[in-house]
Amino acid sequence: MKSVLTAAALAIAGALAFAAPAAAQAPEKPSLTLGVGGKPLLYYLPLTIAERKGFFKEEGLDVTINDFGGGSKSLQALISGSLEAVTGAYEHTIRMQAKGQDIVSVIELGRFPGIVLVAQKDKADTIKSIKDLKGAKIGVTAPGSSTNFFVNFLLAKNGLSPDDVSYIGVGGGASAVAQFKRGGIDAMANLDPVITKVESDGDAFILADSRSEAGNDAIFGGTNPAAVLYLKRDFVDANPVTVQKLTNAFYKSLKWLHTATPEEIADVVPEEYLLGDRSLYIAAVKASKPIYSLTGVIPESGMKNALNMLVEFDPELKGAKIDLPKTFDGRFVAKAAETVK
């Protein structure tokens, strides 16, 4: 009974906190820094759209974006206090809870990871499945990032462990393409437009693909939340108007992406994101368009799938008691859905 009363009290407190429209309030922190790991990747397209379409400015925010080599590095920057928010993988909120760090997501940007594991075309005779990756050198955006987790999970499902391979950070965008083409790695887990580039150039073949609903069902058994906006809990509690405005900006991005054509998206992103080939970028957008969240809400099933994935290969999580509802605060996206036109 006590827990029910506590939950009710929290709900009432939350409702009171959000009673005044955020749009009518000034943000507590109008200037802030947001971290990301590989901004040109389509995984983070909602961030680029929010920036390029002026959605942050519409919400009265001056957002400085720091682009790191991978998601684990942007997480480290958040923990150290050098930035206020991160657009990164949902899994980090679970792993940090196990480490005693209260990190919370406030809007889902990707309902599928969109990560693809490819192998070198000239290795097709020796690498025919995930099991054949034992002893391989595998490129990931950065060690400890979502691309790394993705491969760890696939290895575990196939009787291997992370110790059976070597990981090499290759970043995203043009740097990842260049490193793959140099041939110093046997396989690579990355995202579009990198994947479409190396595949269309005839350098790679696909071992696992999470860009579609069918692909995710085959790998995870359903949706698996990918990119989210996450922050420290104490920052959220101290700056609810700022967090609401950030959420509003990303919600606008999701709404715009639902109706935008791949050609319109290519018109908005920076020229360098096209990797010198606009038609290839458009093809990559078409392949990855299903990954974006339709509502901004992380479903309970998705949270469970993410935890189940991590438990497969992370010893720290096998014995940890994770409170999944604490990894996502849905108040902000619910408010955005009510107010954003």
d(CA 210, CA 218): 9
Fold of 2-112+224-339: D-Maltodextrin-Binding Protein; domain 2 (3.40.190)
Helix 300-313 × helix 213-220 angle, to 10°: 50
Domain edges within the chain: 2-112+224-339, 116-220
Helix 240-259 × helix 45-52 angle, to 10°: 100
Confidence category of residue 21, pLDDT binned at 50, 70, 90: low
Flag whether pLDDT at 15 surpasses 90.
Answer: no
Flag whether pLDDT at 17 surpasses 70.
Answer: no
Q: Would you mind telling me the total number of residues written for the chain in this entry?
A: 341
Flag whether pLDDT at 263 surpasses 80.
Answer: yes
Confidence category of residue 23, pLDDT binned at 50, 70, 90: low
Query: Which residues make Cβ contacts (< 8 Å) with residue 162, sequence separation at least 6?
Result: 151, 152, 155, 313
pLDDT at residue 170, rounded to an integer: 94
Q: 258 versus 2: which is more confidently predicted?
A: 258
Q: C-alpha 58: how far from its chain's center?
A: 24
Top CATH class, 116-220: alpha beta
Q: C-alpha 272: how far from its chain's center?
A: 21
Query: Is residue 120 a contact partner of residue 109, using CB atoms and an 8 Å limit?
Result: no
Confidence category of residue 22, pLDDT binned at 50, 70, 90: low
pLDDT at residue 14, rounded to an integer: 47
Q: C-alpha 60: how far from its chain's center?
A: 25
**What mean pLDDT is predicted for residues 328-334?**
98
pLDDT at residue 172, rounded to an integer: 86
Pairing of β 187-190 and β 227-232: unpaired
Query: Which residues make Cβ contacts (< 8 Å) with residue 18, sequence separation at least 6?
Result: 240, 244, 331, 335
pLDDT at residue 66, rounded to an integer: 97
Q: Which spans in 209-239 are helix H?
A: 213-220, 233-238
The pair of structure tokens assigned to 84 is 């206020």
pLDDT at residue 72, rounded to an integer: 86
Least confident of 14-28, 164-178, 266-280: 14-28
d(CA 91, CA 43): 14
Q: In CATH terms, are 2-112+224-339 and 116-220 the same topology?
A: yes
* Alpha-carbon distance values, 115 to 41, 62, 136, 291, 337 (Å): 10, 30, 19, 10, 28
Query: Which residues make Cβ contacts (< 8 Å) with residue 9, sequence separation at least 6?
Result: none
Q: What is the pLDDT of residues 185-236, one digit of tens each?
A: 999 999 999 999 999 999 999 999 999 999 999 999 888 999 999 999 999 9
The pair of structure tokens assigned to 317 is 């999580």
C-beta atoms surrounding 260 within 10 Å = 18
Secondary structure (3-state) at 323: coil
Pairing of β 187-190 and β 137-140: parallel
Confidence category of residue 251, pLDDT binned at 50, 70, 90: very high
pLDDT at residue 173, rounded to an integer: 84
**Backbone φ, ψ for residue 336 (5° rounding):** -60, -40
Query: Is residue 195 a contact partner of residue 203, using CB atoms and an 8 Å limit?
Result: no
**What mean pLDDT is predicted for residues 332-336?**
98
| Residue carrying structure tokens 């929290």 | 10
What is the rounded average pLDDT for all residues in the chain?
A: 91
Q: What is the pLDDT of residues 77-112, one digit of tens each?
A: 999 999 999 999 999 999 999 999 999 999 999 999
Query: Is residue 154 a contact partner of residue 219, using CB atoms and an 8 Å limit?
Result: yes
90 DSSP 8-state letter: T
Dihedral over Cα of 171, 174, 46, 299: its sign: negative
Confidence category of residue 145, pLDDT binned at 50, 70, 90: confident
Query: Is residue 228 a contact partner of residue 89, using CB atoms and an 8 Å limit?
Result: yes
pLDDT at residue 1, rounded to an integer: 40
> Based on the number of CB atoms within 10 Å of its own CB, is 203 exposed (0-12), middle (13-18) or buried (19 or more)?
middle
Strand ranges across the sheet with 31-37:
62-68, 31-37, 85-89, 227-232, 103-108
